[in-house]
Chains A and B, each alone.
Chain A
Amino acid sequence: MTISAEVVVQRNTENLLTSEVGDEMVMMDMDGGNYISLNKIGRVIWEQMAQPIQVGELINYLTTRFNVDKATCAADTIEYLQRMLEQKVIIIK
């Protein structure tokens, strides 16, 4: 499945351990035994996903918060979310 603005995403809390480490986050996927780290932006995204959120809404939030142009933000966010999806850090609702 691919990420797009209409899709709703949420945290994959099953089998995922998380730990805040400085400005970033480190996570462990208990299933695969993989370690994943989220940088500052990734951490902000994660924090916005305390409840399921539509990707478009997330993009709007990030655009405002980081004061960047919407098109770039949209592209970058979708790419980042896609990677998080592949790492099983998030799921599509």
Chain B
Amino acid sequence: MYHYWGSGLTITSEIEFPELLPYEHTGLPDLTISIGTVPNQLAGVATDKKVCTASNPTEYLLKLLSIANYYASGGNSIIVEPLAAADDKSIRLFLLNSVMAAILKQRDMVALNASAIQYQDGVILFSGRTNVGKSTIISQLKQKGYGIFCDEACILQTGVDGQIRVLPSYPAVNLWADTFEQLAEPLPPEADKLRPQLPKYALRYHQDFNIMPKPVKQLFLLNDLAINMPVEIKKLSPVEAFSEAHNNIFYRQQIYPMKKEAVHFLNLSKLTKDIPACLITRTIYRDTFEEMVQVIENQIHYNG
């Protein structure tokens, strides 16, 4: 049995997860991951059936090609059934994505597609759609001396003082092969690929991984357009920030069938009510990351 911390949860797993933080915990784990046969269908009525998946507020079933079947239930259990064409990395990658997202929602937890750097006594979040460049931005900021807080997703948590803080997902920054050239860094070895056939690499940082909840000092929403334009930055009102952030919830399509609109509404509005937020828009037609980093650094210092 392996013991970990990931996305705010203590985890006991039959499968080894190099992606997660090894963590000895006392008492019952928040989440148990076991190998077994998944049910053919949900125990309860499905509120949603998509290609490969079925879900309701307490169950999520994913039958993924010949890779694996996954069943997440009660917010505390994932059963994994490896299939014929399974390789370990692929099994783990898909579990850490939509399956983990379902577990978090089953536990009434809210996660954002976001990467973050450490700043003062808290963090600065960068949120936006998949592939908009969040991971690249924090990698460039790291080169300028900032510490990384998280990549992929951050989890919102309300403390006993009623304040919102965030937790990181797991200690890796995931980058596509072409980013390394931009960063003037060598391509990592094959073994660091997320999946054998995918040119996306995991840069692990277990030593520097901090699991304490942190306040959010600033929020940057990232957007890209098919228009030739210089990098633009626009201050957002709290309501605009709420709206933009809502578009970037981690596996947002799960909210409706799992009936988690309320908890997402309440937590996101709490997050966006009084932190400085900006929308950064760039063109897709050229590499604008140098420009973006400039704009971001200026804004960070402007906001104090």
Question: A residues engaging B (CB < 8 A)?
Answer: 17, 19-24, 26, 28, 30, 33, 35, 37
Docked-complex contact A22 and B274, CB < 8 angstroms: yes
A28→B238 contact, CB < 8 A: no
Q: CA separation between A35 and B272, bound complex, in Å?
A: 15
Known pairs A24-B237, A30-B261, A30-B262; A19 contacts B243 (CB<8 A): no
Q: List CB contacts (< 8 Å) of B265-283 with chain A.
A: 265-266, 269-270, 272-274
CB-defined A-B contacts under 8 Å, sample of 23: A17-B265, A17-B266, A19-B265, A19-B269, A19-B270, A20-B269, A21-B238, A21-B239, A21-B269, A22-B237, A22-B238, A23-B238, A24-B238, A24-B239, A26-B238, A26-B239, A26-B265, A26-B269, A30-B261, A30-B262, A33-B256, A35-B246, A35-B265
Tell me, rounded to whole Å, the shortest Cβ–Cβ distance linking A63 to chain B. Answer: 26
B242 CB–A CB distance under 8 Å: yes
Given A22-B274, A33-B256: A17 touches B262 (CB 8 Å cut-off): yes
| Distance between Cα atoms of A92 and B265 in the complex (Å) | 26
A26-B239, A33-B261 given; A21·B256 CB < 8 A: no
Question: Residues of B within 8 Å of A, CB-based: how many?
Answer: 16
Interface residues of B: mostly helix, strand, loop or mixed? helix
**Interface pair B266/A19, CB less than 8 Å apart:** yes
B162 to chain A, nearest CB (A): 13
Max chain A C-beta neighbours (<10 A), residue from B237, B239, B261:
B239
The answer to whether A28 touches B261, judged by C-beta atoms less than 8 angstroms apart, is yes
Contact A37 B239 (CB under 8 A): yes
- Nearest-CB residue, chain A, relative to B241: A21
Give chain A residues whose Cβ lies under 8 Å from the Cβ of B262: 17, 28, 30
Q: Which 9 A-B pairs have the closest CB atoms?
A: A22-B238, A19-B269, A21-B238, A21-B273, A37-B239, A28-B265, A24-B239, A21-B269, A26-B269
CB distance from A43 to the nearest CB of B (A): 10
Q: Give complex CA distance A23, B238 in Å.
A: 8
- Residues from chain B with Cβ under 8 Å of A30 in the complex: 261-262
B266: A residues at CB distance < 8 A: 17, 19
Task: Give Cα distance in the complex from A20 to B266, angstroms.
Answer: 10
A21 CA to B256 CA in the complex, in Å? 23
Bound CA span A22–B276, Å: 11
Residues of chain A within 8 A of B243, CB atoms compared: 35, 37
A20 to B242 alpha-carbon distance, docked (Å): 11
For A28, give the chain B residue with the smallest CB separation.
Answer: B265
In the complex the two chains form, what is the Cα distance from A19 to B243 in whole Å? 13
Residues of A contacting B238 with CB < 8 Å? 21-24, 26
Q: Given the known inter-chain contacts A17-B266, A19-B273, A21-B273, please indicate yes or no for A26 contacting B242, CB distance below 8 A.
A: yes
In Å, the complex CA distance between A33 and B272 comes to: 20
Contacts of A33 in B (CB 8 A): 256, 261
Q: Which residues of A contact B274 (CB under 8 A)?
A: 22
Which A residues are CB-close (under 8 A) to B246? 35
Name the distance in Å between A44's Cβ and chain B's nearest Cβ.
15
Closest to B264 in A: A28
Residues of A within 8 A of B237 (CB): 22, 24
